[in-house]
Amino acid sequence: MLDANLKNQLKAYLEKVTQPFEIVASLDDGAKSRELLGLLEDISSLTDKITLHTDGQDSRTPSFAINRPGEETGVVFAGIPMGHEFTSLVLALLQVGGHPPKTSQELLDQIKDLDGEMLFETYYSLSCQNCPDVVQALNLMAIFNPNVRHVAIDGALFQDEVESREIMSVPSIYLNGKPFDQGRMTLEQILAKVDTGAAEREAKKLSEKAAFDTLVIGGGPAGAAAAIYSARKGINTGVAAERFGGQVSDTMGIENFISVTHTEGPKLVSALEEHVKEYEVDVMNLQRATSFKAAEAEGGLHEVTFESGAKLKSKTLVLATGARWREMNVPGEQEYRNKGVAYCPHCDGPLFKGKRVAVIGGGNSGVEAAIDLAGIVGHVTLVEFMGEMRADAVLQKKLKSLPNVDIVLNAQTTEVTGDGSRVNGLTYKDRNTDEVKSIALEGIFVQIGLVPNTEWLKGSPIEMSPRGEIIVDAHGMTSVPGVFAAGDVTTVPYKQIVVAMGQGAKAGLTAFDYLIRTEPADEIAQAA
């Protein structure tokens, strides 16, 4: 099952195991059970600390639990966790085997203090780059709290469950048999949702913090770069982000990051986070900015208020809140979001195997999505508003060569239709004839560009473009003294990771230059 190279890597990891544990497999006579058994035999052969049992009685087959002797940890995999989930498997083996997780003691204590019986079920796909974050977080909760149990389920192997629960997006999380959430979630986000008092406690703690020298709003590539360059100057630096990594976390293949021929979004985000942690940067997750109050005088303190109620002050700000996928804003889109309407073809594509789907958008993202989906689904219809696609010629050539793809140009999407529970079609207007037409399908993937995350700045003195992007000069300065911006949220052209990092570094350096050249306002001088 595992090749020699992967076995050697896994054996090296398993040397970190400090206590024996068991793998209990529930199998049937099917090919997938035989495949899983091969994987588990390979794993158990690499260390004498693992005992493999094949007499499990779980109703889901193939599946396996990872338990301590005489103790169920609550960690169960239903399926064969390869692909993106192999890392989740390795971490579960290590953590059940006594190797400490790279998680703060504060979070571990919060996990241990959770009350009530909780059975989580997560439906994932092996191609989903967002799923491992959820699987690993819930496994950790199960390992450190005996009241928590987690079953990670490969939706492709348990289609009956996927159909009966009408799951059309991964990861889909259930708690005690009821829908809990969908999409990528961090451990902090999950804990905030099940520990109802956590947000209030955190907001109070944040509001008591002293003013920062530089506070970065946003934790994507631009925000991370700004934080690192600021912290390297030895100044008090903070990062407040809704989720560290931002949209890059949802990106599959990255092949244009200079010096790295290929990586994936979650891997890059993990590396960014580790790099930031090398410095004394105060990282505050789950903080969504809602308003901004500029300093009353140059050299004074700016204030940002967050959805949690927390308020943070800083001498300088770097705004790096990024952008999000643009929505179609047509009837039915929100009603059927995650019920056939999706925005990540890599994540959700496998759930539409053999079905009919549409891709909205003829740029590079749309055409790439259509090409990827064509290898999975039954049929793809690409719908483009303009009279021609804007994607690279090589991508267009590839798309047109595929037998199960139709291309519709000059088409204005007007409505997403459904049966009340899932998508069943798309309505569009032919812009040449004004004729209204319909396409019968089961899924719609929206790939029509980005929208800057600047709603929270409306009404502020920060100047923005008609598109809502923050206007910056060559140094990353905004119209407000002491406030800088970087990345996809700004007017800087070319929304690329490497560009965002460069702009973030520039903003961090400019903020420091501003600090050393600006006399503090009276309020700061008096406080000092």
Residue 297's domain is classified under what CATH number? 3.50.50.60
Same domain as 476, residue 438:
no
Give domain status of residue 332, yes or no: no
**Host domain of residue 157:** 4-196
Same domain as 406, residue 458:
no
Same domain as 246, residue 134:
no
Give domain status of residue 349, yes or no: yes
Query: Which residue has 């923050």 as its token pair?
Result: 470
Residues 501-522 pLDDT 10s: 999 999 999 999 999 999 887 6
Give yes or no for a contact between 426 and 400, defined as CB atoms under 8 angstroms apart. no
Give yes or no for a contact between 457 and 465, defined as CB atoms under 8 angstroms apart. no
Give domain status of residue 363, yes or no: yes
Same domain as 162, residue 19:
yes
Give yes or no for a contact between 482 and 518, defined as CB atoms under 8 angstroms apart. yes
Same domain as 171, residue 87:
yes
How many domains would you assign to the chain?
3
> In CATH, what number is assigned to the domain containing residue 100?
3.40.30.80
The burial of 442, by beta-carbon neighbours within 10 Å (0-12 exposed, 13-18 middle, 19 or more buried), is given as buried
Same domain as 227, residue 163:
no
Same domain as 155, residue 48:
yes
Instruction: Single out the residue in 196, 223, 246 at which a domain terminates.
Output: 196
- pLDDT of amino acid 522: 65
Same domain as 208, residue 80:
no
The burial of 202, by beta-carbon neighbours within 10 Å (0-12 exposed, 13-18 middle, 19 or more buried), is given as buried
- pLDDT of amino acid 301: 97
Same domain as 155, residue 256:
no
Give domain status of residue 335, yes or no: no
Give domain status of residue 333, yes or no: no
Low-confidence stretches of the chain (pLDDT beneath 70)? 522-528
- pLDDT of amino acid 525: 54
- pLDDT of amino acid 200: 85
Give yes or no for a contact between 233 and 280, defined as CB atoms under 8 angstroms apart. no
Give domain status of residue 498, yes or no: yes
Give domain status of residue 15, yes or no: yes
Give yes or no for a contact between 411 and 405, defined as CB atoms under 8 angstroms apart. no
- pLDDT of amino acid 526: 54
Give domain status of residue 30, yes or no: yes
Which bin fits 482, alpha (ψ -120 to 50), beta or left (φ > 0)?
left
Same domain as 113, residue 14:
yes
Instruction: Single out the residue in 160, 177, 196 at which a domain terminates.
Output: 196
Same domain as 10, residue 138:
yes
Instruction: Single out the residue in 401, 420, 448 at which a domain terminates.
Output: 448
Same domain as 436, residue 476:
no
Give yes or no for a contact between 161 and 153, defined as CB atoms under 8 angstroms apart. yes
